[in-house]
Amino acid sequence: MPREISLELEARETEWAFAPDRSLRGFGFNGSVPGPLIEAETGDTLRVRLTNSLPQPTTIHWHGLRVPADMDGTAPVQPCDAFEYVFVVPDAATFWYHSHVNETEQLERGLYGAFVARGPGEPRLDGERVLLLDDLKLDPGGELAPFGDDHELHEGREGDVLLVNGRREPELEIAAGQVERWRVVNAANTRFARLSIGGRPFSILGTDGGLVPAPVETSEILLTPGERADLAVGPFAEGEVLEIETLPYDRGRGEPRRDSFATLRVGPAAPSQAELPGSLRQIEPLAGAEEAPTRTISMKALMHGGHDQRDEPVPVGALQLWDLVNETSQDHPFHLHGFFFQVVAENGEPPALLAWKDTVNVPRKQQVRIAWLPDDRPGEWMYHCHILEHHAMGMMARFEVVP
Ligand code: C2O
Ligand code: CU
């Protein structure tokens, strides 16, 4: 039975203790960083009342959720004002919600949270946890470094303090012998996470838009800002200590290096009921790699186009094949609001994995073709680079979905 879930979220200033001995002036939903975990099932109706108690406008964007255009959370809610978001949860996946005003500062200060939507036929593992990855850029005095100089807007904001669920390098524990579902979200402004769990194998179960056709075994996964992955992690042996880290990745800026997000300790054994099915979900391909694109989006033009860019309208029901071309010298994670897409080609080649996505990295000097079908949710939508500083610089465009 679909339920109705009502929630109050207040955006307010908060003392954010990101480490046992360290805190800073954060912004938190209900005073916590990250904000409360929202859990729902497909078909549930969500009613979220946002009250803005910050001294600046804010809003909630439901990243990845296929909500109606006027619930997408791009219209600011003024200080002392409130807004009620109402929508039905259409898909099962790991989503997240975050401010969509002055994001470079508001997300760095903590205005984000995870949103887990479950559906029928989820794989049964021994446990589940959400890991929101982030980082903080501090000045030498330990306060947040100032925001948004030209250098930072161009390079993006990356900090040296790595966070999981709002805490600096926490210690996590898993029972020996068990396999858990980890829902990982990259909530950082700019930092790319090339995630490794002590170099050990794990399975990818899902991406931005939910389960993939079958588990994919690997020992690392690249998550750019905005992207999510569901992983099956374990089993390990009692006493093992593994580093959850990001391996060096060259996004065209900065020195690629290895950094630790957290430590995973393997505790005493517990019985396992985990069953990883050989197939998880059927996904029909929207298009083949050889079909001609309907639109080309140049990352370079987008980057230099400024804040008032408008792209051509998109008619409901008309298959979209967009070539995302990155002529610049750095990678850009491209995010489409409100709709899932499939990657149909990477530099002309079919991709390794068929999956539903809402954010995809377009590596420098490369191109990615995506396919998506605008379902019947007309209105104003947007796409942008999810490096928040690039978005702030105007690396975005609005377009209309027309009936
Ligand atoms: Cu998560 Cu417009 O963004
Ligand atoms: Cu970018």
CATH code at 363?
A: 2.60.40.420
Residue with tokens 């050989």: 278
Flag whether 202 is in a domain. yes
User: Is the Cβ atom of 181 under 6 angstroms away from ligand 1?
Assistant: no
The confidence band for 1, taking pLDDT boundaries of 50, 70 and 90, is: confident
My answer on whether 105 and 157 are in the same domain is no
Q: Which domain holds residue 316?
A: 295-402
Distance 397 CA to ligand 2 centre (A): 13
Report, as an integer, the average pLDDT of 238-259. 95
CA gap 68, 337 in Å, rounded: 11
Count of domains observed in the chain: 3
Note the pTM of the prediction, 2 decimals: 0.98
Per-residue pLDDT tens digits for 165-199 = 999 999 999 999 999 999 999 999 999 999 999 99
User: Is the Cβ atom of 228 under 6 angstroms away from ligand 1?
Assistant: no
My answer on whether 133 and 261 are in the same domain is yes
Nearest CA to ligand 1 atom 3: 63
User: Is the Cβ atom of 109 under 6 angstroms away from ligand 1?
Assistant: no
Closest CA to 185 of 116, 118, 233: 116
User: Reduced to 3 states, what is the DSSP secondary structure of residue 145?
Assistant: coil
User: Is the Cβ atom of 390 under 6 angstroms away from ligand 1?
Assistant: no
My answer on whether 259 and 366 are in the same domain is no
Q: For residue 98, which atom of ligand 1 is closest to its CA?
A: 1
Flag whether 369 is in a domain. yes
Distance 385 CA to ligand 2 centre (A): 5
232 burial via Cβ count (<10 Å: 0-12, 13-18, 19+): buried
CB 5 within 8 A of CB 44: yes
Of the bound ligands, which one is closest to the alpha carbon of residue 384?
1
Closest CA to 335 of 368, 301, 307: 368
Q: For residue 396, which atom of ligand 1 is closest to its CA?
A: 2
pLDDT of residue 191: 97
Per-residue pLDDT tens digits for 329-375 = 999 999 999 999 999 999 999 999 999 999 999 999 999 999 999 99
Average pLDDT, the chain: 97
